[in-house]
Structure 1
Amino acid sequence: MSNAPSPFVRAALDAARALPSSGIAWLDAARRENLDAFADTGLPEGRNEAWKYTPLRALSQRAFALADRDVAATIAVDPALYALPGVDGARIVFVDGAFRADLSSPGGEGIELAPLADALTAHPEPLRFALANRYRRGAADAFVHLNAALAADGFVLRVADGVSVARPLHVVHVSSGAQADTAWHVRLLVEVGKAAAVDIVEHFVSAGDATQLGTVVSDIVLREEGRLGLVVLQDASAATTLVRRGHIRIDAGAAATLHALELGGALVRHEWHADLEGDKARFDSRGVFALAGRQHADTQLEIRHKARDTASDALWRGVADGRSRGVFRGAIVVAEGADGADAALSNKNLLLSGMAEIDTKPELEIYADEVKAAHGATIGQLDERSLFYLRSRGIPLVDARSLLTLAFCRAALESLANDALREHLGELLVAHLPTGPTE
């Protein structure tokens, strides 16, 4: 990068300098270290292989001030904006990155759920590794360093050993639209105890159309024999840029499942990193992006098998219409000693427009013995014979296209056990699918 920082970097540095001290020496030092790392690297450029298909030149010329937490605390938000059927457990709501106690509801017995600021005040030392040592210089990209330097809010969730949480936890990120050209940053820390179980629904919405940037970094630890169901629904406005990085550590005998639906946003990048650390750990992931207009969505999935008899199954779908662009990279790494691993990855995509684009890159690295692994990716169009069949039965072209596209996408959502939520996601997908003819 050039010596002169971009407007994006300059604005971030100004925002960091204006932040008050946390009062915790190691946390302030970690923020400074991450800020220095971000200043040194700047935003990723095209020669960075991990960002090859997601150019950030236009973003680098934008100057985002830090969203005002005092303003965010007073913004009126209608709870109907984020209401979801089948999701009626504890709720934690952030508006422009600021925790809103008035919109949130506490957890139940066996759950420790606290805003990050409160957890740091009460018991800061247990959070030291995650906040100060987890992402050191050279171990993360620019957006993770930016989040670590500027995130002033988030939450800490701990589920005690043996506790099964009956109702899903709802995590809501609201971009208010009331603070134009601002950025917000949130950090999430989750620990699921031994033989414990919890479902989490993370939900991105917008209350207005002003341009905003949001970053979220989450770290999840799933202890032995634990169970985690994670659903991520991204339905932000077309003026929103989102960058989210999630890391999941899965210990022996534990299992995590991810379902992701990407609908909104102007530029969205979601990274998922899963480390299968213990014998017989399992990670299943399912996801869909459905894009239109000039939307850009980038999904990065990396699954690392590090122990014996681990398993992973990834099934992802992409649909691009208009002039949109979708990116998918799925990497499976089977480390030395991870004998008996079983890994599968499938990524299938539909182009609904001649001007849309999808880039897919499946990767497989195997350094162990007696491994079963398969991966594949396709990019195509709707099947003309199926369209002809539906139209011959009197179904209009628009409806026929929507039916086939929905069936294609639903393969990635049908394993979601929450019936009410699964049906709602399908309805959102239908509403988002294109209604006009292909270009």
Structure 2
Amino acid sequence: MNQPASLPLAASLLDAPLPASGIAWLDEARRENRAAFAVGGLPGARVEAWKYTALRGLGQRRFAAGDAGAATRDVDAAEFALPGVGGPRLVFVNGVFRADLSALEALPDGLSLQPLALALRDDAEPLRFALSRPALVGHVREGGDAFVQVNAASAADGVVLKVAAHATIAVPVQLVFVGAAAESELAWHARNLIELGEGASLALVEHHVGHGEQAQLATLVGDVELHEGAQLHYTVLQNTATGAHLIRRSGLRLHARAQMRLHVLELGGALVRHDLQAELVGDGAQLHTRGVFMPHGRQHVDTQLAIRHQALNTTSTSTWRGVANDRARGVFRGAILVAPGADGSDASLTNKNLLLSPNAEIDTKPELEIYADEVQAAHGATVGQLDERSLFYLRSRGIPLAEARALLTAAFCRAVLDDVPNEALREHLSALLSAQLPD
């Protein structure tokens, strides 16, 4: 059951003016998605995918559409500086592209990187197929996709990144989304299109930053397509403002022998949701996901991971860790489906979680469906507290209780970062995890 479009949040999203592109097919797609959202409204608790993430509080808020002052907001570039990441960069502030903060000079051969608005202005037709539908994976079918409909109707900018066939981009590329304080509470939206050609290789970092307690609502929908033999290492660092509401949908499609390694750290935000849907559509495709979510205070972090094996001899491994403190809540759903004909698939998923306070909560739901033969598949999930025997061992060696707890929790989280190839970035991410731990 969906919540009515008359709620303050839904009403403010419907009242926002639609971006006018002057491109007939795009403007029509935006109107259709706006109309679909008007009919369906926000997802309610009876929508299975939103069962553990209630939108009652968010639904009562109103947000202004966009930020007219985003182009001149004072943003310190040090906020998004990352060790080991100094190559091409696109920066958006409250959803608006900032050329002054970006780094697009002398792009490596084979790399095309530009804002979506510019790509539409120069030649919109190559983007028609992608933008005429909400995302590569998971067409809009139910109220659970309401925020994808909002994004498809309202996103005026975002990222268009393409790597030419057989090109190897040696330096990491960074995509930065800054939530900056403004005169009112804002809603902004971005749409990303990422494509690697046959045999191409790229390291990509997506970075969400913000500060302060001012509430914002941001939606981000992205398509990632890897053609035959392409390789992508994708790192997502979410450390946005404490009052922010960030809702994302990522669609991944891997063709024959494509390989993708994804690392995700969810640290900031008030209500954060990432709906990550992957399809392995080519023989021998490989997807490896690693993630940590660490809500504290009254944060709510929801990760929805769905991987569909559709071809022969495909592989997926997923290792996710959650740590909740104070009155925070974490949600993790990990679903693997091996479709008919996807013989020889190898899939594994684990989600281990720690509760550091009696009022913290983590809801985990692993799912496995197999409709093919000669398949190896495993899944599991746990929710518990730190091992008392390990704590006793450390304390018997003279380590104080608080320090022993911190050491064990840090080790529990860092296990998912061991295979980050960029050493400087890996150490920085580990330091951020440590800083998030309770004193």
TM-score, normalisation: structure 1: 0.96
Task: Name the CA shift for 1:270/1:20 in 2 (closer, same or farther; >3 Å).
Answer: closer
Q: How far did residue 207 of structure 1 move?
A: 3.8
Maintained 8 Å contact 2:19/2:156:
no
Aligned twin of 1:80: 78
Q: Separation in 1 of the partners of 2:316 and 2:18?
A: 41
Distance, in Å, in 2 between the alignment partners of 1:78 and 1:300 is 32
- Secondary structure, aligned partner of 1:73: helix
Q: Structure 1 residue runs of 4+, over 2 Å off? A: 1-4, 133-137
| Alignment partners' CA distance in 1, 2:134 and 2:331 | 27
CA contact (8 A) 1:346 1:377 kept: yes
CA-CA distance at 1:108 after TM superposition: 2.0
Aligned residue number for residue 141 of structure 2: 138
Q: Which residue matches 1:318? A: 322
* Secondary structure of the corresponding residue to residue 338 of structure 1: coil
Kept in 1: contact 2:169–2:202 (CA 8 A): yes
Q: Quick check: 2:3–2:41 contact (8 Å CA) kept in 1?
A: no
Question: Aligned partner of 1:47: which letter?
Answer: R
Q: Which amino acid aligns with 1:83?
A: A
CA RMSD of aligned residues (A): 1.2
Q: Which range is displaced more, 170-179 or 49-58? A: 170-179
CA contact (8 A) 1:174 1:207 kept: no
1:251 to 240, 248, 255: 255
Segments of structure 2 that go 5 or more residues without pairing to the other structure are none
1:308 and 2:312 aligned = yes
CA contact (8 A) 1:178 1:208 kept: no
CA distance in 1, matches of 2:146, 2:86: 36
Q: 1:296 aligns with which of 294, 300, 303?
A: 300
Shift in Å at residue 143 of structure 1?
A: 0.6
- Whole-angstrom CA distance in 2 between matches of 1:146 and 1:313: 32
Aligned to 1:184: 188
Give the gaps of 5 or more residues in structure 1: none
Alignment of 1:16-415 (within 5 A): 18-68=17-67, 70-106=68-104, 107-135=107-135, 137-138=140-141, 141-415=145-419
CA contact (8 A) 1:330 1:345 kept: yes
How many equivalent pairs are there?
432
Determine what percentage of the aligned residue pairs are the same residue.
Answer: 59
Q: 8 Å contact 1:211–1:239 — kept in the other structure?
A: yes
1-side partners of 2:227 and 2:304: how far apart? 24
Q: Partners in 1 of 2:50 and 2:27 — Cα distance? A: 29
**Mapped contact 2:176–2:206 kept (Cα < 8 A):** yes
Distance of 2:165 and 2:4 partners within structure 1: 51
- TM-score scaled by structure 2? 0.96
Q: Which amino acid aligns with 2:14?
A: L
What's the CA shift for 1:133? 2.8
Matched residue type, 1:415: D
2:310–2:339 Cα contact (<8 Å) kept = yes
Q: Which amino acid aligns with 1:269?
A: R
Higher mean C-alpha deviation, range 143-152 or range 99-108: 99-108
Q: CA deviation at 1:180?
A: 3.1
| Aligned equivalents of 2:402, 2:187: Cα separation in 1 | 38
Cα distance, 1:20 vs. partner? 4.5
Once residues 411 and 255 of structure 2 are traced to their aligned partners in structure 1, the CA distance between those partners, rounded to angstroms, is 35
C-alpha distance in structure 1 between counterparts of 2:133 and 2:174, whole Å? 28
